[in-house]
Amino acid sequence: MTDMVSVKGLNKVYESAGRRVEAIGDITFSVARGEFACIVGPSGAGKTTLLKCLAGLLTPTAGEVLLDGVPVTGPPPGMAVVFQEYGRSLFPWKTVRQNIDLPLRQKKLPRAERDRLVTDSLGAVGLADAGDAYPWQLSGGMQQRVAIARAVAYEPQVLLMDEPFAAVDAQTRADLEDLVRSLWRSLGITTLFVTHDIDEAVYLGERVLVLSASPTCVLDDVPIGLPAERDQVTSRSTSAFAELRTRVHRGIQDAKAGRRTSGAAA
Amino acid sequence: MNILNFLRRVLYALGLPAALVALWWVTSVNSTSYYFPPLPDVLDQFGRLWLAGRFADDVVPSLVRLLTGFLVSAVIGVALGVALGLTDVLRRGAEPVLEFLRALPPTVLVPVIAIVAGIGDGAKILVIVSGCVWPVLLNTVEGVRAADDVMIDTCRTYGITRGARLRHMVLPAAAPQIAAGLRQALSIGLILMVIGEMFAATNGLGFSIVQFQRTFAIPQMWSGIILLGLIGFALSALFTVVEKRVLGWYLGLRESQKRNG
B24 touches chain A (CB under 8 A): no
Burial B117-147 (b: 16+ CB within 10 A, else e): eeeebebbbbbbbbbbbbbbbbbbbbbbeeb
CA A55, CA A83: separation in Å to the nearest integer? 11
What's the pLDDT score for residue A266?
A: 41
Name the residue among A242, A202, A199 with its Cα closest to residue A222.
A202
What's the pLDDT score for residue B118?
A: 86
Residue in chain A nearest B252 by alpha carbon: A136
| Nearest residue, CB atoms, B157 vs list A55, A85, A107 | A55
Q: State mean pLDDT over A201-213.
A: 95
One DSSP character per residue, A174-195 reads: HHHHHHHHHHHHHH--EEEEEE
The residues, any chain, with a CB within 8 Å of residue B115's CB and separated by 6 or more, are: none
Q: How many residues does chain A have?
A: 266
Give the three-class secondary structure for A217: strand
Cα angle for residues B254, B256, B261 (degrees, 5° grid): 95
pLDDT tens by residue, chain B, 261 residues:
688 888 898 888 888 999 999 999 999 999 889 999 999 999 999 999 998 888 889 999 999 999 999 999 999 999 999 999 999 999 999 989 998 998 999 888 888 888 888 888 999 999 999 999 999 999 999 999 999 999 999 999 999 988 999 999 999 999 999 999 999 999 999 999 999 999 888 999 999 999 999 999 999 999 999 999 999 999 999 999 999 999 999 999 999 988 876
CA distances in angstroms from B125 to B63, B64, B115, B117, B161, listed in the order given: 11, 9, 14, 10, 36
B156 touches chain A (CB under 8 A): yes
CATH topology of domain A3-78+163-265: Rossmann fold (3.40.50)
Cα angle for residues A217, A218, A224 (degrees, 5° grid): 165
| Nearest residue, CB atoms, A93 vs list B157, B161, B249 | B249
pLDDT tens digits, residue range A37-54?
999 998 888 899 999 999
What's the pLDDT score for residue A260?
A: 77
- Chosen for mutation from B158, B166, B260 (greatest number of chain A CBs closer than 10 Å) is B158
Residue in chain B nearest A159 by alpha carbon: B157
Q: What's the order of all strands across the beta sheet hosting A36-40?
A: A70-71, A62-67, A3-16, A19-32, A216-223, A207-211, A36-40, A190-195, A158-162, A79-82
Helix (H) or strand (E) holding A42: none
CA distances in angstroms from B2 to B7, B8, B9, listed in the order given: 9, 10, 11
What is the least distance, in Å, from the CA of A242 to any CA of chain B? Answer: 36
CA distances in angstroms from A259 to A8, A12, A200, A240, B42, listed in the order given: 21, 19, 23, 26, 88
B169 touches chain A (CB under 8 A): yes
Is residue A189 predicted with pLDDT exceeding 70? yes
Which numeric CATH code is attached to B58-259? 1.10.3720.10
Provide the H-helix boundaries in B146-217.
Answer: 149-157, 162-165, 171-198, 205-214
What's the pLDDT score for residue B52?
A: 84
ipTM for this model: 0.92
B164 touches chain A (CB under 8 A): yes
Residue A157 is which amino acid?
Q
Q: Decide if A218 contacts A27 (C-beta within 8 A).
A: yes
How would you classify the pairing of strands A216-223 and A19-32? parallel
Q: How many residues does chain B have?
A: 261
| Nearest residue, CB atoms, A154 vs list B158, B164, B168 | B158
Residue A21: strand pairing partners: A14
CA A231, CA A178: separation in Å to the nearest integer? 8
Name the residue among B130, B129, B127 with its Cα closest to residue B201.
B127
- The values of phi and psi at residue B37, to 5°, are -70, 165
Q: State mean pLDDT over A1-21.
A: 89
Which chain A positions have a beta carbon within 8 Å of B158's beta carbon? 80, 102-103, 106, 150, 154
Name the residue ranges covered by the structural domains of chain A. 3-78+163-265, 90-155
B38 CB neighbour count, 10 Å cutoff: 18
Is residue A262 predicted with pLDDT exceeding 80? no
A126 touches chain B (CB under 8 A): no
| Nearest residue, CB atoms, A57 vs list B157, B175, B256 | B157
Cβ B150–A94 below 8 Å, yes or no?
A: no
| Nearest residue, CB atoms, B249 vs list A107, A134, A150 | A134
Residue A158: strand pairing partners: A79, A190
Which chain A positions have a beta carbon within 8 Å of B169's beta carbon? 91
Question: Of residues A177 and A16, which shows the higher confidence score?
Answer: A177
A67 touches chain B (CB under 8 A): no
What's the pLDDT score for residue A265?
A: 45
Residue A162: strand pairing partners: A194
Portion 74-103 of A in contact with B at CB < 8 A: 74-75, 77, 79-81, 83, 85, 88-89, 91-94, 102-103
CA B188, CA B198: separation in Å to the nearest integer? 16
**What's the mean per-residue pLDDT of chain A?**
93
CA distances in angstroms from B46 to B37, B53, B219, B223, listed in the order given: 13, 12, 9, 5
Cα angle for residues B157, B162, B166 (degrees, 5° grid): 100
Name the residue ranges covered by the structural domains of chain B. 58-259
Residue in chain B nearest A99 by alpha carbon: B168
pLDDT confidence of A139, banded at 50, 70, 90? very high
Q: Decide if B202 contacts B129 (C-beta within 8 A).
A: no
